[in-house]
């Protein structure tokens, strides 16, 4: 039975569970990211793996910049490689089995770390192996969520991946404050070893969830795809009317897959200037790079060390405060990005983050925080306010944009390239931060402040506003010579007087979806089937049940609203191979 209804459409409890279960992949990454900052300052860990002038006094032990940089950053090198192989692995094994195998790989990396006694290189290699799994999961999880979740809540459920990353960071901080009191190697081994729990939950639990209907249809299992969709919607096989709708949705997926065979593109196509493809590839890679250059991971990776250096007696507590701010504010970020679009939150967020990083750096540079408690407190407050802005804008916003900026034929590859650029800068920041801090200390904050301002300028001059648009409309907008990034907030598809008119008509279209009783309007089913079959040779049929997403967006990860079908009683003209309306 459906758990609840959204715009009249049934939503099953399975849809919520599969999103939460898959998001454990984000939790695993967040936990691994959060734990290393505290591990680096644990007494036994320093005695075993740092350089000590007195081998029995942890206060004489210090990590060299190379050693600490490699221990922290090799995870990111692994994620970079994993992100590029994650999508092919998920295509070959299926989304669920790919995630299970990647969880096993992550556990191998954890075991490598746990079995060392005094070899710091083994810790680094273990994090590299775990990073391969984390990177592959970062490709498989959002893909699975987007392809399996009902359209009406796809955006929110996909965004839970970012939310679980922040939760994982916070949980790691909380566990660390407890395990640090354990004597000997138990302090850090317990913290690392608990990391085996999360991949076990994901690796086993995901097998009880439905497989991606898109993957099933692509591998010749339309009946299994229909069963997967029915589970997500919470409808029974005995409900004939509801299952007619499910069958129509399967037909949409099949039609889309046939269309994609005609427009299949290679990696080189991502760098062709036609239709602003190169423009958007570089834009996606730049935005992902600047998400790292905001400086957030400076605090997440080295936060405990940073706050210890400003004279804070218990830097573990400070880390928990930062983690809590990051987690709680991410909920606000989901609302901000849906309510205020993409451009202005990123612009304002970049400016806000720059201001507080400037305060952080100026305070630490003007006076010695170790001898001036008020300066130390100001630096903590400014760091928290920076994280607040980051969690509500750049953290979720960039991931959302990766899903809705690229054209259909190259979307997966452009998304992989963008994600890889994120992991590359993740590694560079993690590795070089110790070197930079040792040279310029807290003036490092000025560098990140400048990067945030640069990111805001890039968004203003190059990013188009894609909220409230279908993917086809986004493609049209980027290729409209009259539309500029700074005027794109007012751009609307042909047939709409304004973006506001688009939103209102979309709401009207959504109101015509299946009734909460589970009954489905006969004309909608007939129109969906006719559209899919009659337009099949021309391209792919337009949207059904009032969504307007069409085959191209029906289950391919579109988080934008549908637009054209059943608006004011008109029929969707359908879309051709180029993604544009077919003249009627």
Is 55 inside a domain boundary?
yes
431 with 320, same domain: the answer is yes
184 with 245, same domain: the answer is no
236 with 353, same domain: the answer is no
CATH at 176: 1.20.1250.20
Is 513 inside a domain boundary?
yes
Per DSSP, 543 falls in state -
Question: Judging by beta carbons within 10 Å of its beta carbon (0-12, 13-18, 19+), is residue 365 exposed, middle or buried?
Answer: middle
Token readout for 238 is 């005995």
Is 530 inside a domain boundary?
yes
Q: Is the pLDDT of residue 2 over 70?
A: no
Q: Is the pLDDT of residue 39 over 80?
A: yes
Is 575 inside a domain boundary?
no
286 with 411, same domain: the answer is yes
| Most confident residue range from 66-70, 81-85, 288-292 | 288-292
Domain final residue pick, 423, 443, 463:
463
Domain that holds residue 30: 1-209
Q: In sequence order, which residues have a C-beta less than 8 Å from that of residue 277 and are 6 or more positions away?
A: 269, 270, 271, 407, 410, 414
Per-residue confidence at 309, pLDDT binned at 50, 70, 90?
low
Give percent of the chain above pLDDT 90: 23
Higher confidence at residue 307 or residue 358?
358
Q: What span, in angstroms and rounded, lies between the C-alpha atoms of 531 and 259?
A: 14
Higher confidence at residue 77 or residue 507?
77
* Phi/psi at 10 (5° precision): -70, 140
350 with 454, same domain: the answer is yes
Is 13 inside a domain boundary?
yes
DSSP conformation letters of 111-125: HHHHT-SS-HHHHHH
Q: What span, in angstroms and rounded, lies between the C-alpha atoms of 288 and 300?
A: 17
The pLDDT value recorded for residue 578 is 40
Helical residues (DSSP H) of 149-221, grouped into ranges = 154-179, 186-193, 197-205, 213-218
Q: Please name the helix (run of DSSP H) or strand (run of DSSP E) that holds residue 10, with its range, or none.
A: strand 9-12
Is 185 inside a domain boundary?
yes
Q: What span, in angstroms and rounded, lies between the C-alpha atoms of 405 and 146?
A: 15
Give the 3-state secondary structure percentages of the chain, helix then strand then coil, rounded to 5: 75, 5, 25
Token readout for 493 is 């598809």
354 with 375, same domain: the answer is yes
Is 577 inside a domain boundary?
no
Other CB atoms within 10 A of residue 319 CB: 27
202 with 223, same domain: the answer is no
Higher confidence at residue 70 or residue 495?
70
Q: What span, in angstroms and rounded, lies between the C-alpha atoms of 138 and 135?
A: 5
3-state secondary structure 210-231: CCCHHHHHHCCCHHHHHHHHHH
Report the candidate in 307, 317, 316 with the shortest Cα–Cα distance to residue 382: 307
360 with 426, same domain: the answer is yes
500 with 378, same domain: the answer is no
Q: In sequence order, which residues have a C-beta less than 8 Å from that of residue 538 and are 6 or more positions away?
A: 574, 576, 577, 582
174 with 198, same domain: the answer is yes
Per DSSP, 438 falls in state H
Q: Please name the helix (run of DSSP H) or strand (run of DSSP E) that holds residue 401, with its range, or none.
A: helix 394-404
434 with 561, same domain: the answer is no
The pLDDT value recorded for residue 567 is 34
Report the candidate in 462, 144, 453 with the shortest Cα–Cα distance to residue 279: 462
What does the pLDDT look like over 401-423, one tens digit per residue?
A: 877 788 867 777 888 788 888 88
Q: Is the pLDDT of residue 548 over 50?
A: no
- Structural domain total, the chain: 3
8 A C-beta contact, residue 217 and residue 554: no
Is 582 inside a domain boundary?
no
Token readout for 425 is 């800068």
165 with 129, same domain: the answer is yes
Per-residue confidence at 74, pLDDT binned at 50, 70, 90?
confident
């Amino acid at each position: 039975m459906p758990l609840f209804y959204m715009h009249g459409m049934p939503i099953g409890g399975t849809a919520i569970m599969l999103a939460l279960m898959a998001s454990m992949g984000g939790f695993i990454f967040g936990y691994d990211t959060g734990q290393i900052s505290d591990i680096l300052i644990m007494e036994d860990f320093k005695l075993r793996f740092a350089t000590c002038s007195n081998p029995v006094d942890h206060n004489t032990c210090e990590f060299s910049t190379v050693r600490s940089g490699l221990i922290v950053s090799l995870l990111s090198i692994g994620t970079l490689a994993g992100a590029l192989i994650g999508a092919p692995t998920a295509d070959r094994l299926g989304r669920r089995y790919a995630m299970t195998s990647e969880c096993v790989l992550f556990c191998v990396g954890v075991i490598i770390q746990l079995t060392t006694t005094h070899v710091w290189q083994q810790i680094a290699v273990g994090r590299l192996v775990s990073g391969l799994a984390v990177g592959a999961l970062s490709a498989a999880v959002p893909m699975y969520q987007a392809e399996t979740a009902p359209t009406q809540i796809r955006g929110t459920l996909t965004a839970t991946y970012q939310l679980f990353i922040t939760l994982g960071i916070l949980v790691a901080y909380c566990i660390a404050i407890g395990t640090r009191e354990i004597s000997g190697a138990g302090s850090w081994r317990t913290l690392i070893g608990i990391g085996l729990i999360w991949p076990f939950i994901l690796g086993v639990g995901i097998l009880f969830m439905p497989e991606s209907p898109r993957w099933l249809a692509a591998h010749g299992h339309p009946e299994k795809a229909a069963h997967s969709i029915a589970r997500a919607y919470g409808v029974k096989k005995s409900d004939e009317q509801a299952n007619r709708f499910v069958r129509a949705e399967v037909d949409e997926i099949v039609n889309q897959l046939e269309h994609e065979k005609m427009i299949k593109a290679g990696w080189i196509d991502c760098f062709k200037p036609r239709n602003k493809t190169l423009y958007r590839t570089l834009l996606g890679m730049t935005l992902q790079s600047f998400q790292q250059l905001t400086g957030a991971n400076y605090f997440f990776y080295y936060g405990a060390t940073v706050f210890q250096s400003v004279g804070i007696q218990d830097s573990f507590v400070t880390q928990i405060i930062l983690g809590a701010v990051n987690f709680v504010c991410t909920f606000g970020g989901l609302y901000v990005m849906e309510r205020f679009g993409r451009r202005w939150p990123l612009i304002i967020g970049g400016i806000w983050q720059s201001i507080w990083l400037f305060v952080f750096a100026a305070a630490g540079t003007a006076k010695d925080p170790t001898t001036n408690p008020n300066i130390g407190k100001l630096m903590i407050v400014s760091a928290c306010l920076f994280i607040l802005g980051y969690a509500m804008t750049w953290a979720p916003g960039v991931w959302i944009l990766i899903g809705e900026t690229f054209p259909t034929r190259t979307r997966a590859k452009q998304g992989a390239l963008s994600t890889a650029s994120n992991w590359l800068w993740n590694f560079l920041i993690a590795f070089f931060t110790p070197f930079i801090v040792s040279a310029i200390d807290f003036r490092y904050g000025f560098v990140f402040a400048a990067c945030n301002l640069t990111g805001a300028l890039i968004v203003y001059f190059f990013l188009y506003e894609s909220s409230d648009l279908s993917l086809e409309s986004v493609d049209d907008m980027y290729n409209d010579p009259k539309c500029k990034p700074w005027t794109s907030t007012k751009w609307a598809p042909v047939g709409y007087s304004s973006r506001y008119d688009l939103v209102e008509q979309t709401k009207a279209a959504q109101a015509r979806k299946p009734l909460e009783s589970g009954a489905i309007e006969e004309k909608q089913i007939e129109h969906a089937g006719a559209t899919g079959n009659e337009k099949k040779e021309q391209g792919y049929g337009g949207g059904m049940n009032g969504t307007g997403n069409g085959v191209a967006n029906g289950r391919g990860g579109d988080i934008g609203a549908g637009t054209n079908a059943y608006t004011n009683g008109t029929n969707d003209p359908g879309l051709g191979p180029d993604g544009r309306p077919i003249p009627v």
